[in-house]
Amino acid sequence: MSEAPHLTFDVDKPGVIKGHLVVPKGADCEVLSLPVFSFNKGEGPRLLITGGCHGNELEGPLVARRLIEWLPEAQTCGRVIIVPVLNPPAVQAFSRNTPTDGLNLNRVFPGRADGSVTERIADAVSRLLLPMADTVFDLHSFGPTWDFPPSTTTHPIADPDLMAKTIRMAEAFKLPMTLVWDHPDTPGMFDISAHNQGKVFVCAELGGGTIGAEALAIYEAGVRNALISLGLVEGKAEHPVFRQRKSSHTLQTRRPADELKSPARGIFEPRCSMLDEVKRGDIIGILHPMDSSSANSTEIWSPSTSIVCAIRSGGYVEVDEWLALLARPLDR
């Protein structure tokens, strides 16, 4: 019998503590020690910030490292626990899923103590970190093959009070987009586990494409705004400037009409950009088949008046892969 998952430090101890979350070994992997940073200034909000759930989204771990540098000076009360990398094997491989078992960490919550490595990580997080927080920020991004604005997202939540609280928290980041995303594949997601425990959970989707210094500054400002709104630090929240504008949209998607999928294999040529407004019948992009000299290119039209929240910007697409995600202003 291997040891149980545990933290190497006492979370109730005041001050700044650097320790580890120990995920027990299994048949597929040795013990994992995930670096954990605890900032405890007594009474107040209890926040958990995680990054590196998906290994090819490195914005979250980078923003988490910046917060670790900044928080000791800035924090005035409460407790913040930061785990910059939830899935070290996936981050080391720059892979969305864990290479060892092929699983997506954000689909196996609450995990299994006797499962494969991805399930054991989820189990350790669910049992040891989640219960210590009232609010969770999980830092993701859309990855290198998408054009996507710095955003916060949530899924529709059945409890109207928790939904309203979560949207308010997501909007407090003041990022260019807050999205209530009617996602087709939510079982096993980290946020569903947290919602089931009544916690406010905001998934930050920190842009798409490759990582740049300007974008990282926006993401960091967004998380700082959220910490100010929670009362963990003092200061005045400010809208980050994105594409020469200080604006925020709160949008919602509806399934399945807002998910534009590829009708064939090929290369997608985007004809609009993230946050563009499109009318019904406008061309979103063109899909060019490359397998046959006789196959025609296909125009992909918008089915409705919408705002483009995500558009494919790279990679060879297969049939039924997503090309774009549309949304409209949130119906409150």
* Residues that bind Zn ion in the complex, under the rule CB under 5 A: 54, 57, 140
The kind and range of the H/E element at 64 are helix 59-74
Cα dihedral angle (195, 199, 200, 206), rounded to 10 degrees? -70
| Cβ 321 to Zn ion shortest distance, Å | 16
Closer CB to Zn ion, residue 38 or residue 118?
Answer: 118
Helix (H, G, I), strand (E, B) or coil at 283: strand
Tokens of residue 228, six digits: 């100010």
| Cβ 238 to Zn ion shortest distance, Å | 26
Closer CB to Zn ion, residue 58 or residue 67?
Answer: 58
Alpha helices, DSSP H, located in 75-230: 88-92, 117-124, 160-171, 190-196, 213-230
Q: 315 near 145, Cβ under 8 Å?
A: yes
Distance from C-alpha of 89 to C-alpha of 239, rounded to nearest angstrom: 35
Closer CB to Zn ion, residue 259 or residue 278?
Answer: 259
| Cβ 311 to Zn ion shortest distance, Å | 17
Closer CB to Zn ion, residue 287 or residue 324?
Answer: 324
Q: Among residues 271, 261, 278, 277, which one has the least CA distance to residue 317?
A: 261
| Cβ 161 to Zn ion shortest distance, Å | 27
- Whether the link from the prior residue into 110 is cis, omega within 30° of 0, is yes
Cβ neighbours of 243 (radius 10 Å):
10
| Cβ 144 to Zn ion shortest distance, Å | 12
How remote is the C-alpha of 270 from its chain's centroid? 24
Cβ density class 15-42: b for 16+ within 10 Å, e for less: eebebbbbbbebeebeebebebbbbbbe
| Cβ 61 to Zn ion shortest distance, Å | 12
Closer CB to Zn ion, residue 203 or residue 230?
Answer: 203
Closer CB to Zn ion, residue 182 or residue 276?
Answer: 182
| Cβ 235 to Zn ion shortest distance, Å | 28
Distance from C-alpha of 30 to C-alpha of 24, rounded to nearest angstrom: 7
| Cβ 202 to Zn ion shortest distance, Å | 13
Helix (H, G, I), strand (E, B) or coil at 198: coil
Closer CB to Zn ion, residue 106 or residue 126?
Answer: 106
Distance from C-alpha of 18 to C-alpha of 25, rounded to nearest angstrom: 22
| Cβ 285 to Zn ion shortest distance, Å | 23
Closer CB to Zn ion, residue 7 or residue 310?
Answer: 310
Closer CB to Zn ion, residue 54 or residue 195?
Answer: 54
Residue 305 vs residues 81, 178, 263, 277, 287: alpha-carbon distances, Å:
42, 18, 21, 7, 21
Give the residue nearest to Zn ion (CB).
140
Helix (H, G, I), strand (E, B) or coil at 284: strand
